Amino acid sequence: MEDAVKIAPSNSVLVSDVAFEKHVTGFGHPEQPARNKAVLKALDNAGISDKFRKVEPRPCEDSDILRCHSGKYLNTVKADVKAGETQLSTGDTAICPASLDIGRLAAGATLAAVDEVLAGKAFNAFCVVRPPGHHATPDKGMGFCLFNNIAIAARYAQKKHGIGKILIVDWDVHHGNGTQDVFYEDETVFFFSTHQSPWYPGTGEREETGKGKGLGSTLNRPCPAGSGRDKIVENAFGQDLLTVMNRFRPELILISAGFDSRIGDPLGQFRLVDEDFTSLTGIVLDLAKEYADGKVVSVLEGGYDLNGLGKASVSHAQKLLNA
């Protein structure tokens, strides 16, 4: 019998572009263009960048955005950018003349990653993109987010690739309220989040578990300031998530990879260290191997200490490469 054909040339793809630095947020803004550069430079300095196969992002279409956002909101973004506004009218998200195009590119990067993974060309993908997305609700951009990149990726995987059940895990220090809102009444997408509470944006209580057909498909594990490995890695991910996945059994796993949950981040008060992101990634990869043929797409969310962001991203990326 012939040996099974292995995925080549790399089990992992990296989707990014220097164009993401064109989304300009203003002097002193924590969600700055240097974030993109910091991650890519850290991967290069660690000697692992070349181990990824590089995939160029493509802009998403209006139809991709409209699977998760209202037409009214999309028109608002277009109008605000065209008018030369520096702040999105719906919330605390800085914009510039390039923001609409770069927002499309960020969401489109996740679609390119989904295509690679679901076509069997890679086991997993890491999308180093900005602006982030998990705070963007169907009708409102907020929290530095324009379009909900990971939600758009999930709907695309279902629509274009016929995927049934999808798990989204979010370890950003801030609750992914936008992602929760998109799928709150949907039993086909399970949303799992660890996040600091009380903290921005003020959502994500344990009692928020879904609604209607989606009841039971949202699992929030809010944690107090100062939380670290025991509460987040060992208890929430290592026990609670594993337990519920025995029932849900996802066909694809998406990661909202927010590294502002790392110790020392200026916008969070968690105490995760770089090795903890290795462990979190490993837990997700093991789940993917058990239920989803190893298929994982990771999308950058927060992380505002540039040095810490780079180090945590390296730990995450190295584990993806070793899947």
pLDDT digits (tens, 9 = 90+) for 59-118: 999 999 999 999 999 999 999 999 999 999 999 999 999 999 999 999 999 999 999 999
pLDDT score recorded for residue 158: 98
Tokens standing for residue 148: 């909900």
Q: Would you give the end-to-end CA distance of the chain in angstroms?
A: 25
User: Quick one: tokens of 156?
Assistant: 């695309």
Question: Which among 245, 237, 182, 183 is positioned nearest to 215, based on CA atoms?
Answer: 183
In whole angstroms, give the CA distance from residue 318 to residue 256: 17
Cβ neighbours of 184 (radius 10 Å)? 18
Which CATH code is given to the segment(s) 12-321? 3.40.800.20
Beta pairing, strands 53-55 & 252-257? unpaired
Question: Which residue's structure tokens are 């995987």?
Answer: 157
- Count of CB atoms situated within 10 Å of the CB of 56: 12
| Amino acid making up residue 106 | A
- Is position 135 annotated as part of the catalytic site? yes
Label residue 8 by pLDDT band (50, 70, 90). very low
Question: Mean pLDDT across the stretch 138-165?
Answer: 98
What would the two tokens of residue 128 be? 């180093």
| Length of the chain in terms of residues written | 323
Structure-token pair, residue 216 = 């039971």
Find all residues with CB under 8 Å of 281, minimum gap 6, and list them: 255, 298, 315, 316, 319, 320
Return the SS3 of 288.
helix
Return d(Cα 130, Cα 139) in angstroms, integer.
Answer: 20
| pLDDT classification of 34: cutoffs 50, 70, 90 | very high
Contacts of 158 (CB under 8 A, 6+ apart): 164, 166, 188
Q: Mean of the pLDDT values across residues 128-137?
A: 98
CA dist., res. 6 & res. 30, Å (int): 41
Mean pLDDT for 276-296 is 98
Residue 189 DSSP label: E
User: Residues 267-275: what's their mean pLDDT?
Assistant: 98
Question: What is the Cα–Cα distance from 185 to 212, expressed in whole angstroms?
Answer: 6
DSSP annotation of 237 reads: I
Once rounded to an integer, what is the mean pLDDT over residues 256-278?
A: 98
Work out the pLDDT band at 6, boundaries 50, 70, 90: very low
Q: DSSP label at 51?
A: G
Q: Exactly one of 23, 69, 134, 135 is catalytic; which is it?
A: 135
The pTM of this model reads 0.96
